[in-house]
C-alpha cells in the first residue's frame, strides 16, 4: 500500500513538473508576438469582473464573450501578475498546456500499460510543437477558440471514462453548456455532433435509453447556455452580439475549402507560411506531416466504422465534431484566411486524440512486425526532435504590445486619458498598466464615435474623465482618421507621428459632446 502511495505521489510530482516545463516553453513562444486589441480588451474585462463588476455591467463585448471560461482564467492569473501585457502571454501558455494534458488523457482512454503510454505519446507528438508565425498566433495568443477546446475535450473525457454512469449525461451537459456560454462554437462542434451521433447509435443498438439520455444532454447544454445568457441580460450584464454567420454562395465553396485545408496545415504544423524553406524547417514540417497523416487515416477508418455502427462512441463523436467544424468553415460566411485558423483550433486536439486512439493499439502489438517497429521508431524520433527543439530554440521576443511605441510616447509625456483607434486603444491601457487609459473609437461618416465592441460605457463619461488626445493608426483608417477629429474639434494643439501612429493633442475634453456609447 505504501509503495502504491509513493508511486502515486511520484506521478503527481512528474506531472506537475511537466506542466510547469511546458508552460515555460509555451510562454517563450507566446512572447514572440505582441498582444493585440482583443487580448488587451479581455484583460481589462477580467480585471473589472474581479474588482466589483462580476456581471460586467456597461461592457459591450465581442460576439464571443469568453465570460465563464477564459475571462475567469485571466482574472485568476491577474492575482499574480496584475493587468500587464505579459499576463496575456502567461494565460495563453497555461491554456495550451491544459489542452496538451486533457487531449493526452482523452487519447489514453481506458487503456493500460504499454498501450496507454503509446497512445499518450502519439497525442503529445502531434500537439507538442506549434509552428512559428501563424501557428503561434493561432494557438498561443489572446483568447480565441483554442481555449474553448478545454471544456469540449473535458466533456469527451467524461463521456469516455464514465461510461453508462447515471451522472455522465449531467456532467456532459454542464461542460458543454459552460463552454457554449463563453463560445457559441461549442454548440456546433459539441452539442450538435453529440446529438446526431447518439441518435444514430440509438437506432442501431440495444442501449437506446443511455444513447437518448446523451441526446437529451446535448439539448440541455444548449438550453443551459442560452438560458444563462437570458438571465444575464435580465440582470443587466454585458452586451454581446450574435456572430453574423450566413451560408456562403456556392461559388465561394472551392476557395473556402482550399483555404480551410491550409488552415488545417497551420494548426497541425505541416504548413509554415512566411518561413524560408531551410533544411531544419522542412524537417519539422515533414515530422508534423507524419502525425497529420496518422490523424487523417484515423479519421477515415473511424468514419467508416461509425457509419457501420462499430466505432467507439467518443471516436464517433469526435469524427462528427471535426466534420462540423471544418464543414462550417467551408459553407458559411465566417472569415476564411490563415489568420482565421483559430476558428478550427479545436480540430487539432480532437485529431490528435483520435490518431492516438487509432494508432496506439497497433503500436502496442505484443508481436510487432517490421512496420510496427518502424512506427515506434518514428514516434520516438518525432518526440525527441520536437522536445529538443522546444529546449534549444528561443523565438525572438516581440514588443509587449501592438502600439507599444505610442504607449511609451504618451506615458513619457504624462498624458493619462484620451481616445484612440480600437486596435491600439486597449493595448495602450494594458501595456501602461492603466497609467494611460485610451477609450476606443471608430470612424462614423465624418465623425468619431465610441466603438461598441470591447468597450465600457463609463470610458466615455465626460464628468469622470478628461480626454486630451486621440491616437490614430495610419494604416487602418476605418478606425478613424485625423481629418474626422479635425472636423469635430478643429485643428489640434500639437500632432506627433510615432511610427505608424498619429497622435493629436487638444486643450479641450474630447468626451464632451461625443455620441453616447452604443447609441
What is the secondary structure of 18-60 as a DSSP string? HHHHHHHHHHHHHTTS-B-HHHHHHHHHHHHHTTT-TT-TTEE
Q: Are 496 and 409 in contact (CB under 8 A)?
A: yes
One domain for residues 304 and 418: no
Structural domain for 497, as ranges: 404-505
Q: What is the pLDDT of residue 9?
A: 65
- Is the separation of the CB atoms in 55 and 238 below 8 Å? yes
Out of 343, 368, 392, a domain closes at 392
Query: Does residue 2 lie in a domain region?
Result: no
Q: At which of 392, 413, 443 does a domain end? A: 392
3-state secondary structure of 84: coil
Tell me, what's the pLDDT at 435?
Answer: 95
Q: Please tell me whether residues 252 and 120 are part of one structural domain.
A: yes
Domain check: are 482 and 372 in the same one?
Answer: no
Q: Could you tell me if residue 511 is inside a domain?
A: no
Is residue 138 domain-resident? yes
Q: What is the pLDDT along the chain (519 residues), one digit of tens a residue?
A: 555 555 556 678 888 999 999 999 999 999 999 999 999 999 999 999 999 999 999 999 998 999 999 999 999 999 999 999 999 999 999 999 999 999 999 999 999 999 999 999 999 999 999 988 888 888 998 777 899 999 999 999 999 999 888 899 999 999 999 999 999 999 999 999 999 999 999 998 778 999 999 999 999 999 999 999 999 999 999 998 887 778 889 999 999 999 999 999 999 999 877 666 677 788 888 999 999 999 999 999 999 999 998 999 999 999 999 999 999 999 988 877 788 888 999 999 999 999 999 999 999 988 788 899 999 999 999 999 999 999 988 888 988 898 999 999 999 999 999 999 999 999 999 999 999 999 999 998 889 999 999 999 999 999 999 999 999 999 999 999 999 999 999 999 999 999 999 999 999 999 998 999 986
Residues 147 and 207 in one domain: yes
pLDDT for position 519: 67
Q: Which residue has the cell 501612429?
A: 501
Q: Do 477 and 379 fall into the same domain?
A: no
Q: Do 69 and 198 reside in the same domain of the chain? A: yes
Q: 341: Cβ–Cβ under 8 A, 6 or more apart, which residues?
A: 134, 138, 263, 266, 267
What is the per-residue pLDDT for 325? 95
Residue where a domain terminates, one of 392, 426, 447:
392
pLDDT number for residue 13: 86
Residue 3, in any domain of the structure: no
Do the domain assignments include residue 203? yes
At 61, list the grid cell: 463585448
Question: Do 345 and 464 share a structural domain?
Answer: no
Do 253 and 233 meet the contact criterion of CB atoms below 8 Å apart? no
- Predicted confidence at residue 276, as pLDDT, reads 60
CA distances from residue 431 to 44, 51, 188, 400 in whole angstroms, order as listed = 11, 19, 35, 7
Query: Can you read off the three cell numbers belonging to residue 412?
Result: 513619457
**Sequence-distant (≥ 6) Cβ neighbours of residue 424 within 8 angstroms:** 37, 402, 403, 406, 438, 471, 473, 501
* 248/126 same-domain check: yes
Domain assignment of residue 497, yes or no: yes
Looking at residue 277, its pLDDT comes to 62
Burial (CB < 10 A; 0-12, 13-18, 19+), residue 151, is buried
Q: Residues 388, 408: one domain?
A: no
Supply the pLDDT for residue 8.
Answer: 57
CA-to-CA distance for 33 and 30, rounded, in angstroms? Answer: 6
For residues 286 and 407, what is the distance between their CA atoms, to the nearest angstrom?
42
What cell was used for 212? 437518448
Residues 164 and 308 in one domain: yes
Q: Which of 35, 31, 32, 41 is nearest to 420 (CA)?
A: 41
User: What is the pLDDT, as a whole number, of residue 339?
Assistant: 80
pLDDT at residue 114, as a whole number: 94
- Assigned domain for 4 exists: no
Helix (H, G, I), strand (E, B) or coil at 190: helix
Q: Could you tell me which of 43, 97, 352, 313 has the C-alpha nearest to residue 204?
A: 313
Say if 300 falls within a structural domain.
Answer: yes
Residue of 229, 234, 148, 134 lying closest to 191 (CA atoms): 148
Instruction: Give how many domains the chain has, as a whole number.
Output: 2
**371 shares its domain with 479:** no
Domain match, 281 and 333 both: yes
Look up residue 271 and give its DSSP letter: -
What is the reported pLDDT for 338? 81
Amino acid at each position: 500500500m505504501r509503495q502504491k502511495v509513493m508511486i502515486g505521489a511520484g506521478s503527481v510530482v512528474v506531472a506537475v513538473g511537466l506542466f510547469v516545463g511546458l508552460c515555460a516553453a509555451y510562454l517563450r513562444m507566446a512572447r514572440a508576438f505582441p498582444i493585440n486589441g482583443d487580448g488587451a480588451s479581455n484583460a481589462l474585462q477580467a480585471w473589472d469582473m474581479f474588482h466589483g463588476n462580476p456581471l460586467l455591467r456597461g461592457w459591450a463585448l465581442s460576439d464571443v464573450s469568453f465570460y465563464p471560461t477564459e475571462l475567469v482564467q485571466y482574472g485568476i492569473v491577474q492575482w499574480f501578475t496584475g493587468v500587464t501585457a505579459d499576463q496575456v502571454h502567461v494565460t495563453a501558455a497555461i491554456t495550451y498546456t491544459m489542452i496538451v494534458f486533457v487531449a493526452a488523457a482523452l487519447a489514453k482512454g481506458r487503456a493500460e500499460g504499454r498501450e496507454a503510454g503509446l497512445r499518450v505519446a502519439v497525442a503529445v507528438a502531434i500537439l507538442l510543437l506549434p509552428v512559428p508565425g501563424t501557428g503561434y498566433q493561432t494557438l498561443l495568443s489572446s483568447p480565441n477558440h483554442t481555449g474553448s477546446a478545454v471544456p469540449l475535450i473535458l466533456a469527451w473525457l467524461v463521456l469516455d471514462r464514465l461510461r453508462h454512469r447515471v451522472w455522465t449525461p449531467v456532467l456532459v451537459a454542464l461542460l458543454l453548456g459552460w463552454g457554449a456560454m463563453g463560445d457559441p462554437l461549442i454548440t456546433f462542434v459539441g452539442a450538435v455532433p453529440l446529438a446526431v451521433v447518439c441518435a444514430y447509435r440509438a437506432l442501431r443498438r440495444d442501449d437506446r435509453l443511455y444513447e437518448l439520455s446523451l441526446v437529451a444532454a446535448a439539448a440541455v447544454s444548449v438550453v443551459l447556455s442560452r438560458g444563462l445568457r437570458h438571465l444575464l441580460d435580465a440582470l443587466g450584464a454585458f452586451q454581446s452580439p450574435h456572430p453574423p454567420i450566413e451560408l456562403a454562395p456556392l461559388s465561394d465553396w472551392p476557395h473556402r475549402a482550399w483555404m480551410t485545408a491550409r488552415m488545417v496545415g497551420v494548426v497541425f504544423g505541416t504548413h509554415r507560411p512566411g518561413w524560408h524553406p531551410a533544411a531544419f524547417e522542412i524537417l519539422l514540417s515533414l515530422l508534423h506531416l507524419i502525425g497529420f497523416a496518422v490523424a487523417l487515416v484515423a479519421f477515415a477508418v473511424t468514419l467508416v466504422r461509425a457509419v457501420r455502427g462499430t466505432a467507439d462512441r467518443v471516436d464517433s463523436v469526435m469524427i462528427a465534431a471535426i466534420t462540423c467544424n471544418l464543414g462550417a468553415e467551408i459553407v458559411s460566411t465566417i472569415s476564411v484566411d490563415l489568420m482565421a485558423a483559430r476558428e478550427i483550433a479545436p480540430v487539432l486536439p480532437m485529431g490528435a486524440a483520435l490518431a492516438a486512439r487509432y494508432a496506439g493499439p497497433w503500436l502496442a502489438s505484443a508481436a510487432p512486425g517490421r512496420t510496427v517497429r518502424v512506427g515506434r521508431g518514428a514516434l520516438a524520433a518525432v518526440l525527441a526532435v520536437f522536445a529538443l527543439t522546444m529546449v534549444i530554440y528561443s523565438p525572438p521576443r516581440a514588443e509587449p504590445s501592438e502600439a507599444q511605441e505610442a504607449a511609451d510616447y504618451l506615458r513619457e509625456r504624462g498624458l493619462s486619458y484620451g481616445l484612440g483607434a480600437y486596435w491600439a486603444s486597449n493595448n495602450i491601457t494594458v501595456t501602461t498598466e492603466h497609467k494611460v487609459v485610451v477609450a476606443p473609437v471608430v470612424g462614423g461618416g465624418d465623425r468619431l464615435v465610441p466603438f461598441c465592441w470591447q468597450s465600457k460605457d463609463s470610458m466615455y463619461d465626460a464628468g469622470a474623465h478628461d480626454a486630451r488626445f486621440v491616437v490614430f493608426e495610419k494604416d487602418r483608417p476605418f478606425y478613424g482618421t485625423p481629418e474626422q477629429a479635425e472636423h469635430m474639434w478643429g485643428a489640434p494643439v500639437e500632432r506627433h507621428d510615432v511610427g505608424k501612429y498619429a497622435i493629436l493633442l487638444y486643450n479641450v475634453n474630447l468626451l464632451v459632446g461625443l455620441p453616447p456609447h452604443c447609441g
